[in-house]
Structure 1
């Protein structure tokens, strides 16, 4: 008996090994698709986030009660991600390994179920291997967020196996009392499946169907006549149905409660059929989609990372050829249902033993184990067996090759989105554009964004991302139009409002920019997917509005705006993200002469985040203004100790040293800053001034030349370059630089005076050179 059980476990081991081998190449894959929001940006994975939060937030870290939540309640899946984060932070290898191991477990449990149902080793081998190798599983296993599907499937199967055991023990006179152990198992695994992915609640319906139609072979007539509630031999069935109903109602009620008693809101792109106003379109499309899914099970030639956004075009007319496939599917279902019902109607029930028996021609009962006997009899001849073996082998090889090939598509986002262009071109092009933009392939990214909009012109996110790309290329007017289109298609898109305000301010339209910032800050962001991001963006709008007022020297209004931002800071918003605003407040206080209050704000910032470099630098500058030079230098050194690679620290420290007359030390600091970064205009200009003071005239000349290239529109850049060229004896070049400065600022007295001195020198030089 032990040997037989060991042999029966070989299909399980074989299926597990195949599943592991086929998915080993996913371990090197990167994060992709929804992994960014579900893992990389999900605050619920962080150790500092209270663990209890995962039971009140959705799969993406958004509170379930928020109107923008998709109500995807999967705390067990998020808990597994949190475990991965604790072990390896954001290294994708561990997350992929978790998916592969989980898939192997699901394969093992499925094969055990097949073994229990089919009761034949060959059939169990075929079922287990087909499940392990089927390419349709790649989207769940290779995509990390697919863990919700794998985990739900595991608990689904365990629930079903537990219910089968419960039914078996329920009918046994000697083991009836042990059935309650399996009742507990059914409830626990059902809860676990529902907490992994919400669709797993369907397992209760599967258990009920098994109990009614497979185990008890209840006829449709008996259901319609309510015999299952009145006849004594159905008492065990009623117990099971009550158990399932109680479990289901309790779980659904709890789930609704956690959702805040509100249904989820889906965008039209998520479910285009439901968004259609035409009843016929909804009816035809809903009936075609199961047909497509069944076809993918039979022939998984086309797979996709996403099937939204009308990747399956709506069936809008009766003349659509796809309706033929729908009709064929339902005719096939009706035919097989008829065959099954006919088989069931030929059986009779033994109310004492709970066994199913069938009448033979002589009126003698014999046991019927399962419907698979019919299939086995079809393969009785050796020739047909060889044909079946060959067919199974070919299918397994094709499935395995397709699975491995599809896994490679998940290795990088670029490969994944490229593979999805044929199925979902709008989303694939949009995501591919983001990847290329991050890689610096801006021309390819722009073309991809425009390709996405050609397929679906109302995608606000794509318009917004295109706007960012154009803004980085200094194509400001085109970027402005992209942001306006994004707002047109999604008026609540706060990031587009923020960037629109920034661009408008750059154009010098401060009044319009202020209106945009204020409108953005007061947006109703309910219904949006990422409320944390939008609430943070609204605070950023207030920060920019305060900066705008500060630049216009409207200090009291700026101060009022900053105080409003602090008061409106949402509870989930990390305090350190407000440091820039606190710096703005301190700057306002400084300009109004209240250095004590400014210092208090910065010290408060440091109390929240002791290693915040900008606060260290600003405190140092405040102490410098108060002429407390020793204390100020201590803060500069503290900042340098926190981040020795930050060139801005050396820059500010060098400015301090220059002001206190320590020019040699300032030069050393400037050289450090220049070696650590690609210098901006301010660093080049200030360093050139310091080198000039130390008589490093040639070094200063080189830096001034670079500064002029960066900001040729500034008259001071040309004037200082002219001055150093004047000193270095390059008189003709110096004259050109002075003239460029005067062209930009004709009334600058210093430049005119220097030009006059230069021309006098040039005239004297010319006279001395004349014989």
Structure 2
């Protein structure tokens, strides 16, 4: 289906480059825009999706990524967000393995490379959408709009709204989804030139679509883009059936129920009046459109009152959603009614690429957990860039100098904004600070200026609760601060209120248990801990604190069982291992304490606290040489541990190595002059040495 060259393409003020040169140019622009984010930290959602996600660790079975959500929570859990992205998590795990740990540089570099590759491939996608399908003698797709597709791809590469997807590591999901989206679409296009292998090519396109969906849920929308080009009933049936099967599988994986979100995540979806919901949803759409049009006010989190709800017809913001629909209706009418077939095709497919990938985030099919999320605009921005390039080439052809200035100015603004925004994403402090200027009403950002002192953090969280009296996370944080300040009664009240508002808030239940334990409300504390475990079954820290409660009540067997559960769920839970050794030591079960200590060191071979506890046990068992070895090993790791020097001195004292005992007593007292018992033992040793000296002829 050979087509003539798009007539407005020669108006675009860009040189006509060879395909490889064009792709390299676009990739370099993408690298230029985001390269300064390569050495950033793990920020915001990276903490949960990467730093605290056990599915990245080599010790975690690989199969877990297929049963857990993006954040490492089992999909069957009440606390799961149901975001099923195993292929994305797999790439995180590979990053972890290659880097040998949680080193953010490798994660960031891969994100930047992916964006560069996607931007380069956009040339081929835009070529099909603008110029239609045509092939050379080798079966390669011809580009009938080389300048327009190049300009649109450059706009895509440099669009600042992509910063969150590229500079934020969790944006990897959007990048991989976009990559497989492109590959699925381009593979599908090849089916038109592969008559003998039509079914095979279409099936491969479906496989790539499934891969896109396993990176992020938006991936399924590529089928809609492909269905727009359908002509034959066979293709329509095959692609439609494949899409339905993927949707069914995704629904089954999700547990046949959507995730549960709170009002602070998406206030409009909780409005009682359906008219208000529709109006506010459309206002959100207009804000997303504005971010594409003018990506200057960017923010990583638009929830928590950042966008106040429209509650009356007199609210002037209604103008924006009316303007949005006027523009959309105008574009749709041109796409459907224009006499120009090239214009119809470009506008239709540009609008499809703009709107369809956004549909999963539109609140139409199900409630989403955000107000605005810049990441979800990654694919939709491709449609916007296509329409922008078309508009510039079609509307400004009469004044090429003006067009050239406009394109150059816009690209410069994009590049500068990308560089500035990428720099803000390098650390959590700068990210939160930048958010305050955009969304001053967002209660989550208030504490950013108060990291230095508990008193100021206390005030900031109280201010948060003034803004949002039902914000349970602020209650939990303030409760923890009050707990540290020993203001336990108020802490208990706040945490109790938090769990009454959100009964499945496991962390608040655990913190409430800690406070109640400190208040010696042991029965209530135990109930709180078990509530936390009920809502988060794999909660090692809660089992650890439950063990401490049982130990305080001299319920030693229960304490040991709780700590054992903590180590089963989290094998590197050092505190739980150490407490088991200490409890068994204190209760005279030295043999069992030795076994537990050795087991712990097989898991944590360089944990000096466990070495210290095991060395104490071995000393009591008169295994002096082994005890000495563990003490010395612990001191090599932590040479300034006064207690370790002191207990090693006691070992030498018992062993009869008095000079060594004297040396380590003195080192212990030098590090901690107030070390309990050490000075008495040292004085006792000195008297003994004096006696020996006097008795020596």
TM (norm. structure 2) is 0.79
| Alpha-carbon distance change, 505 to 190 in structure 1, aligned in 2, over 3 angstroms | closer
CA distance in 2, matches of 1:649, 1:373: 73
- Give runs of aligned pairs for residues 152-301 of structure 1, distance below 5 A: 152-166=177-191, 168-169=192-193, 175-211=194-230, 236-301=231-296
| Alpha-carbon distance change, 604 to 193 in structure 1, aligned in 2, over 3 angstroms | closer
Of the three residues 400, 405, 414, the one matched with 2:415 is 400
Cα deviation digits, residues 679-709 of structure 1 (max 9, x gap): 495x2x333324444669xxxxxxxxxxxxx
Q: Are residue 582 (structure 1) and residue 596 (structure 2) matched?
A: no
List alignment gaps of at least 5 residues for structure 2.
Answer: 1-14, 131-143, 343-385, 688-697
Farther-moved stretch of structure 1 (71-80 vs 271-280): 271-280
Q: Are residue 145 (structure 1) and residue 170 (structure 2) matched?
A: yes
Farther-moved stretch of structure 1 (394-403 vs 466-475): 466-475
User: Counterpart of 1:730?
Assistant: none
Cα deviation digits, residues 511-546 of structure 1 (max 9, x gap): x1x123311232165666xx54xx223312321222
Of the three residues 156, 159, 163, the one matched with 1:134 is 159
- Counterpart secondary structure, 1:110: helix
Pick the structure with greater CA Rg. Answer: 1
Q: Are residue 386 (structure 1) and residue 401 (structure 2) matched?
A: yes
List alignment gaps of at least 5 residues for structure 1.
Answer: 170-174, 212-235, 348-369, 551-557, 697-771
CA distance in 1, matches of 2:481, 2:264: 24
Of the three residues 307, 313, 318, the one matched with 1:312 is 307
CA distance in 1, matches of 2:596, 2:151: 70
- Give runs of aligned pairs for residues 44-63 of structure 1, distance below 5 A: 44-63=55-74
- Counterpart secondary structure, 1:274: helix
- Report the number of matched residues: 613
How well do the aligned residues superpose, as a CA RMSD in angstroms? 3.3
CA distance in 1, matches of 2:636, 2:409: 65
| Alpha-carbon distance change, 595 to 96 in structure 1, aligned in 2, over 3 angstroms | closer
- Counterpart secondary structure, 1:293: helix
User: Counterpart of 1:559?
Assistant: 556
Task: Answer whether contact 2:167 2:425 (CA < 8 A) is retained.
Answer: yes
CA distance in 1, matches of 2:251, 2:652: 64
CA distance in 1, matches of 2:435, 2:528: 35
Task: Answer whether contact 2:48 2:71 (CA < 8 A) is retained.
Answer: yes
User: Counterpart of 1:761?
Assistant: none
**How far is 1:57 from its partner?**
1.2
CA distance in 2, matches of 1:664, 1:490: 61
Q: Are residue 426 (structure 1) and residue 442 (structure 2) matched?
A: yes
CA distance in 1, matches of 2:89, 2:557: 41
**How far is 1:665 from its partner?**
3.0
Of the three residues 543, 553, 563, the one matched with 1:539 is 543
Farther-moved stretch of structure 1 (111-120 vs 34-43): 111-120
CA distance in 2, matches of 1:627, 1:14: 73
TM (norm. structure 1) is 0.72
| Alpha-carbon distance change, 448 to 10 in structure 1, aligned in 2, over 3 angstroms | farther
CA distance in 1, matches of 2:394, 2:610: 82
- Give runs of aligned pairs for residues 704-743 of structure 1, distance below 5 A: none
- Counterpart secondary structure, 1:392: helix
**How far is 1:42 from its partner?**
1.0
Task: Answer whether contact 2:304 2:443 (CA < 8 A) is retained.
Answer: yes
Task: Answer whether contact 1:520 1:541 (CA < 8 A) is retained.
Answer: no
- Give runs of aligned pairs for residues 406-417 of structure 1, distance below 5 A: 406-417=421-432
**How far is 1:418 from its partner?**
1.0
**How far is 1:103 from its partner?**
0.5
| Alpha-carbon distance change, 653 to 495 in structure 1, aligned in 2, over 3 angstroms | farther
Task: Answer whether contact 2:299 2:435 (CA < 8 A) is retained.
Answer: yes
